[in-house]
Amino acid sequence: MSHLTNLNFKSVTRASKQDPVQKRREKLKVGIDEQLLVAAAAVKGERYETKRKSWGKDERGEKVLVDRMRQVRPWFFEQDGGWYVQCKYGNKALALGKGNAVFVKALKDVEATLGALKAAADAGELDAAMSAAVARRK
């Protein structure tokens, strides 16, 4: 106990440095950036994968942290003679205007649509849709 007597203790509540709306915007923009990479790979006819850390066992049976490849699921799909692009927050598609997807004619147009969605997220146009998605989750 003599070691603790020399310390200066205070009660503190950690203040959040960023408001929740800004955090949501940043999370959505990171997701859109990743989807831009997925779309670029799809145009080339490739799959986009990222590394993720996970726990596995080595040859001696000990737990070790290993890199594994994870395929990123695209937010766009082909249907009705074109491509539908959804903007997702978590695993929920956001309600955009009158629907939950944007229709484009060609796969190469998906990147432009994702860029427009990123600009809308940056401008705060998707804040209400993200708030609704968070409210549904709770």
pLDDT of residue 1: 57
Which alpha helices (DSSP H) does 1-138 contain, by range? 20-44, 109-123, 127-137
User: Number of structural domains, the chain?
Assistant: 1
Q: Does residue 31 belong to any structural domain of this protein?
A: yes
pLDDT of residue 138: 67
Which residues span the domain enclosing 112? 20-48+74-137
Q: Does residue 11 belong to any structural domain of this protein?
A: no
Percent of the chain whose predicted confidence (pLDDT) is above 70: 98
pLDDT digits (tens, 9 = 90+) for 79-123: 999 999 999 998 889 998 889 999 999 999 999 999 999 999 999
Written as six digits, the tokens of 49 are 């994968």
- How confident is the prediction for the chain on average, in pLDDT? 91
What average pLDDT does this structure show over 5-21?
Answer: 84
